[in-house]
Structure 1
Amino acid sequence: MKGVMASVQDVGAPREKLQALEKIEQDIAAALSSAASALQELSKDKPAQKHVDSHSTAFIKTLQEVENGLSQQISYLSQVTTSQPHEGSSYGSQKDMHMAMHRSAHVKSRLSELEKLKMEHLMQKHTGILRSYSASNDSQQPLTPHTPQQPHTPQPHQQPQQQQQQQKQTREQQAQL
């Protein structure tokens, strides 16, 4: 098992992976050449057993190297596809980043919706205060909303009763908010 892990680690960088695949390709060509030479020797009227054995041995040896190289490549690919940690890939990190970006966008849209609902609620609450005050107000004076940031200052030409009403109205609105 340790030998397999070491061989997988040897195939770390992309350049090394490509070189390993090229070597496997060359080994396949060499195996085919050895097999062709063995068959050619066997097709003769009097084949030399020594040549047939040497070509067959070279074929088997090269075939084992191809099998080992392909096993290493398959092992590496199985690590990549099962999201196990491996060298030379940032796929897992990229996937995590994209998921985090999607979650962040979802949170932002949800916060925006909540902010919109909050503003609608405040507007309804504010208009409800004004409506309830205007229903209880006997004077024909138009209502102007006052916010706590803009305190009402009485005008010099207003009568004292109107000033008191506006001050009362401002205090009630501030108390309700």
Structure 2
Amino acid sequence: MTTNPGAAPTAYTDGEKETLHASLDRHRDAVLWKLQGLDDEQVRRVMTPSGTNLLGLVKHLASVEYGWFCSAFGREVEPLWFDPSSGEDMSAGQGETTERIVEFYGRARTAADRTVTELALDDVGTTGSGRAVSLRWVLVHMIEETARHAGHMDIVRELIDGGTGDHRPG
């Protein structure tokens, strides 16, 4: 499996789990690429009436990686310094540096990847609302979630400096 931005699975015949994981990684990498080359003001710049900004979306994606891949499967979750249920995961506070949030996303990805590596697609966890959920469903859901927010980030990035695309050109 590759994790290069814009790369497909190592072969178009990889197994289901490897293909799903590679797809998630491709979108995760696009999320990080959307921050590259921007300064602190730009990654925090609110570009929509709802308050959407690049750094807030990364913080949100980190918290949902922990929630779906770790909490749901009874695995350790890093203590959060914010309340995602109140929407605090969608914005970056003054004391939250870009570095802190990007590193938080990296740790969430690593924890989530351990779950993906160690469990089978049919293994079942439990959501915060008590619903049973398979790792397969979580992978598909997180591909959707990450791709959706990477698309938001693409639009925000275009509004900031004209940069577009799902991976670095060339």
* TM-score normalised over the length of structure 2: 0.29
* TM-score normalised over the length of structure 1: 0.28
Higher helix share: 1
Higher relative contact order (CA 8 A, sep 6+): 2
